[in-house]
């Protein structure tokens, strides 16, 4: 396999699709996010134990949504923590994206909506996505709005990382080794894009939470 120069040093299974979505498609995705958060408003996630707020605000699409609070910590729930209503359905365009870019035999149950806001100078610390029962299925994520520096390291905390600047319309896939690598968003260049109506950056991250039953 030929690895493009730009991806040398990134873990196997990391893929970057620059400008996968056209401007018109990005605007459609924003419309879908607007409808989603009208039903399931952005909420402020907080860290387990300390109760310190994460710097993003978030919501979800899908049968399950990722939530976190002081008492129960990181987990998936079928209902919004504030409205107690089910999350809006996974938008069809995102389901199609998953089917195109993964060979996973089932759709993701969860799509996190992370909003990086200028007034909060939102970033995301290095972490591994490991709250799922299924750690083999890939993670597929879409960037909308202001550009951001995405960093990815290895399976252990610390150690060297590689950075890639993600622009509105870009898609990233974490599969194979990359699926269990530490990653985060070290910087957002706020005020550069008009794609997100209230500014900042929106990241949509699809995850398969449970194993697919074969019985």
Structure tokens at 119: 């007034």
Q: Report the residue number, 80 or 115, with the smaller CB distance to ligand SIN.
A: 115
Q: Report the nearest approach of Fe ion to the CB of residue 124 (Å).
A: 7
Q: Which residue do the tokens 């990382």 mark?
A: 161
Instruction: Provide the total of helices (H) and of strands (E) in the chain, helices listed first.
Output: 2, 12
Nearest approach in angstroms of CB 131 to ligand SIN is 11
Six-digit token string for 61: 């699409």
8-state DSSP, 43: B
CB nearer to ligand SIN: give 107 or 205: 205
> Does 132 help bind Fe ion (rule: CB under 5 A)?
no
Position with the least CB separation from ligand SIN: 203
**DSSP assignment, residue 11?**
P
CB neighbours (10 Å) of residue 23? 11
Residue 168 makes contact with ligand SIN by CB under 6 A: no
**Whole-number minimum distance, CB 174 to ligand SIN, in Å?**
8
- Which of helix, strand or coil describes residue 45? coil
Residues 91-120 that bind ligand SIN (CB under 6 A): 114
Classify 105 as helix, strand or coil.
coil
In the complex, what is the shortest distance from the CB of residue 209 to Fe ion, in angstroms, rounded to a whole number?
14
Q: Please say which residue, 77 or 129, places its beta carbon nearer to Fe ion.
A: 129
Q: Residue 205 Cβ, how far from Fe ion at the closest point, in Å?
A: 6
Rounded CA separation 195/27 (Å): 7
In sign, the C-alpha dihedral spanning 55, 162, 108, 195 is positive
Report the residue from 102, 107, 122, 203 that binds ligand SIN according to the rule CB under 6 A: 203
Work out what residue 132 binds among ligand SIN, Fe ion, none; the CB cut-off runs from 5 to 8 Å by kind: none
The residues binding Fe ion (CB under 5 A) are: 129
């Amino acid at each position: 396999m030929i690895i493009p120069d730009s991806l040398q040093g990134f873990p196997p299974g990391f893929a970057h699709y620059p400008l996968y979505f056209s401007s018109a498609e990005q605007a459609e995705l924003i419309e879908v996010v607007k409808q989603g958060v009208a039903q399931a408003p952005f909420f402020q996630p907080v860290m387990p134990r300390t109760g310190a707020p994460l710097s993003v605000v978030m919501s979800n699409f899908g049968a399950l949504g990722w939530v976190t609070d002081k008492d129960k910590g990181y987990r998936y729930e079928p209902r919004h923590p504030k409205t107690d209503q089910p999350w809006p359905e996974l938008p069809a365009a995102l389901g199609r994206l998953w089917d195109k870019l993964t060979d996973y035999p089932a759709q993701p149950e969860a799509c996190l909506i992370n909003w990086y806001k200028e007034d909060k100078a939102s970033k995301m610390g290095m972490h591994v996505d490991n709250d799922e029962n299924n750690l083999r299925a890939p993670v597929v994520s879409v960037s909308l709005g202001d550009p951001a520096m995405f960093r990815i390291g290895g399976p252990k905390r610390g150690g060297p990382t590689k950075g890639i600047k993600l622009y509105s319309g870009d898609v990233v896939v974490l599969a194979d080794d990359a699926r269990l690598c530490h990653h985060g968003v070290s910087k957002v260049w706020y005020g550069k894009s008009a794609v997100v109506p209230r500014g900042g950056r929106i990241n949509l991250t699809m995850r398969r939470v449970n194993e697919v039953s074969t019985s």
